[in-house]
């Protein structure tokens, strides 16, 4: 099939959205035989008992459509998880929806809640699916920049980003890619703005359990929905992928007030309709029977973070000490490369290591991310060490 002469084949809502950088850089790693320190997938699977529960569900016949909202056992487990960890009470029948990963939750929330022309405020650098789905929903992205080297939100810049057309704040904490964990005070500034302007807030909290001592000493991850007055206007997204090391399962959830969850379900029914039936009982098992796994994972990740940070420093880079997530960020401008993308392509060829360039994660202030790259430490110590040894043996300067 070809497009008519007077019309492009690709719809305009997609034409301006570049391919995700993650697929491009991971393909580069495969093509060059490079160590992939860019994309955030672990090298080791999650708990064996959860895998066995999935196998059992397959054998027990959980192979047909699950309810669109999710199987009752998983919705009830999500309720217990939110109460146990965050003190948030939910109705499993009206305030919980199972999604095909948090990515579908983001897509469904934006498609359901954003009208063409509505403005959506995001912290940048922002995960690239946010921009894509805002565009597909017809919304307008407005960025509030987390500026290097500390990557903290400026309450005045947040307030200045609000206009009469603002519909929603799309928040991510712990924050990918910077590793920032927003403090209660910073979250309160978001809550104040949302209440003052009667805004919805969608929070992406997929790294909620992967917080390190640096942030835990000052309370750690605080869900925005737990702040006074925020429950009724906040839709919270999370998943099993990051905290239990099952990123390929793509099972997540949306929780919040019944009208917001119903809106997500209204869009989800036309996206995937339902999410992996045999995986849902296994995720329920993870939440109920492996509650300590993410805490152990966070401790182990902190050690691997420190291994990567020390290694990057040893090769002349200055990484940020991330407070959570899988990632750290470095500035490579001093090495003379045109931008982070050129650096990433260069070190793939010279050193056999692939990070992720961040300039595509900035739209409001592209210059702020021009020379930043993201490194992942959700790999084994052996892989991290090999990556650092390769970087040390190469000339990283342009």
Q: Residue 53 sits in a domain of what CATH number?
A: 3.40.640.10
Q: Which letter does DSSP use for residue 202 in this model?
A: E
Q: In the listed set 264, 289, 314, which residue is the last one of a domain according to the structure?
A: 289
Question: Residue 173 in contact with residue 183, Cβ under 8 Å?
Answer: no
Residues 223 and 331 in one domain: no
pLDDT(298) > 60: yes
| 3 lies in some domain | no
Whether 27 and 69 share a structural domain: no
Specify the range with the lowest mean pLDDT, choosing from 14-23, 128-137, 177-186, 259-268.
14-23
Task: Check residue 240 and report its DSSP letter.
Answer: S
Look at residue 216 in the predicted model and tell me its pLDDT: 63
| Count of domains for the chain | 2
CATH at residue 364? 3.90.1150.10
Farthest-apart Cα atoms in the chain, separation: 62
Residue 343, φ and ψ in degrees, nearest 5: -60, -45
User: Are 146 and 197 in a shared domain?
Assistant: yes
Res. 213 pLDDT band, cuts 50 70 90: confident
Task: Give the Cβ contact number of residue 51 at 10 Å.
Answer: 16
pTM value? 0.95
The answer to whether residues 63 and 147 belong to one domain is: yes
pLDDT of residue 2: 57
Mean pLDDT of 354-363: 92
The pair of three-digit structure tokens given for residue 154, joined into one six-digit string: 């400026």
Q: Does residue 81 belong to any structural domain of this protein?
A: yes
The lowest-confidence range among 139-148, 157-166, 329-338, 362-371 is 362-371
The per-residue pLDDT for range 43-57, each reduced to its tens digit, is 899 999 999 999 999
Residue 381 lies in a domain: yes
Task: Kindly state the average pLDDT of the residues 63-88.
Answer: 97
Percent of the chain clearing pLDDT 70 (strictly above) = 97
Does residue 93 have a cis peptide bond before it, meaning omega lies within 30 degrees of 0? Answer: no
Domain boundary among 244, 274, 289: 289
pLDDT single digits (tens) 91-119: 999 999 999 999 999 999 999 999 999 99
What's residue 5's pLDDT? 65
Strand order in the sheet with 200-204: 96-99, 252-255, 234-239, 200-204, 166-172, 119-124, 140-145
Q: Cα-flanking dihedrals φ and ψ of residue 154, to 5°? A: -100, 115
Which residue range forms the structural domain that includes residue 206?
48-289
Within this chain, do residues 212 and 89 fall inside the same structural domain, yes or no?
yes
Report if residue 1 sits inside a domain: no
Query: Is 151 part of any domain?
Result: yes
In this structure, are 206 and 80 located in the same domain? yes
Q: Is residue 116 part of a domain?
A: yes
32 shares a domain with 68: no
Peptide bond before residue 177 is cis, with ω within 30 degrees of 0? yes
How far, CA to CA in Å, does 303 sit from each of 43, 58, 211, 317, 380? 15, 36, 12, 19, 11
100 conformational bin, left if phi > 0, alpha if psi -120 to 50, beta if neither = beta
347 and 269 share a domain?
A: no
CB 248 within 8 A of CB 242: no
Instruction: For the chain, give the mean pLDDT.
Output: 95
Q: How confident is the model at residue 14 (pLDDT cuts 50, 70, 90)?
A: confident
Q: Are residues 244 and 318 in the same domain?
A: no
Stretch among 10-19, 278-287, 293-302, 378-387 having the lowest mean pLDDT? 10-19
What tokens appear for 103 in the block? 């990515």
> Closest Cα partner for 323 from 183, 226, 229?
183
Q: Report whether pLDDT(3) > 80.
A: no
User: Which of these three, 234, 265, 289, is where a domain ends?
Assistant: 289
Any domain includes 5: no
CB 224 within 8 A of CB 184: no
In this structure, the answer to whether residues 214 and 304 fall within a common structural domain is no
Chain-centre distance for alpha carbon 236: 13
- At 364-387, the pLDDT tens digits run 888 999 999 999 999 999 999 999
131/254 same-domain check: yes
Higher pLDDT, 213 or 184: 184
Please tell me whether residues 24 and 153 are part of one structural domain.
no
Is 7 a domain residue? no
């Amino acid at each position: 099939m070809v497009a008519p002469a007077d019309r492009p084949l690709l719809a305009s809502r997609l034409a301006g959205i570049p391919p995700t950088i993650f697929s491009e850089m991971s393909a580069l790693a495969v093509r060059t035989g490079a160590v992939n320190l860019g994309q955030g997938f672990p090298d080791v699977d999650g708990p064996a008992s959860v895998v066995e529960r999935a196998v059992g569900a397959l054998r027990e016949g959980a192979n047909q459509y699950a309810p669109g909202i999710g199987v009752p056992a998983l919705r009830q487990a999500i309720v217990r998880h939110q109460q146990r960890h965050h003190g948030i009470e939910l109705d499993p029948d009206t305030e919980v929806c199972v999604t095909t990963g948090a990515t579908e939750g983001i897509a469904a929330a934006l498609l359901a809640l954003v009208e063409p022309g509505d403005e959506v405020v995001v912290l940048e650098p922002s995960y690239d699916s946010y921009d894509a789905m805002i565009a597909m929903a017809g919304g307008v992205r407005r960025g509030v920049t987390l500026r290097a080297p500390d990557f903290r939100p400026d309450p005045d810049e947040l307030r200045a980003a609000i206009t009469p057309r603002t519909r929603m704040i799309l928040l991510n904490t712990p924050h990918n890619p910077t590793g920032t964990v927003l403090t209660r005070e910073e979250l309160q500034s978001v809550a104040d703005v949302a209440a003052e302007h009667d805004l919805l807030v969608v929070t992406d909290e997929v790294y909620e359990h992967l917080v390190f001592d640096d942030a835990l000493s000052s309370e750690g991850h605080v869900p925005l929905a737990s702040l006074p007055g925020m429950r009724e206007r906040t839709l919270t997204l999370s998943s099993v992928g990051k905290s239990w090391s099952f990123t390929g399962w793509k099972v997540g959830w949306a929780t919040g007030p019944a009208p917001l969850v119903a809106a997500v379900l209204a869009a989800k029914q036309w996206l995937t309709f339902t999410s992996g039936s045999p995986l849902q009982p296994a995720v329920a098992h993870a939440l109920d029977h492996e509650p300590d796994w993410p805490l152990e994972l966070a401790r182990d990740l902190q050690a691997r973070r420190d291994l990567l940070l020390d290694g990057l420093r040893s090769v002349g880079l200055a990484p940020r000490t991330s407070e959570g997530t899988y990632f750290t960020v470095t500035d490579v401008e001093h090495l003379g490369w045109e931008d982070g993308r050129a650096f990433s392509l260069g070190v793939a060829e010279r050193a056999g290591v692939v990070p992720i360039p961040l300039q595509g994660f900035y739209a409001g202030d592209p210059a702020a991310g021009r020379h930043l790259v993201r490194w992942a430490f959700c790999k084994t110590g052996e892989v991290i060490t090999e990556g650092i040894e390769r970087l040390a043996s190469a000339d990283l300067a342009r």
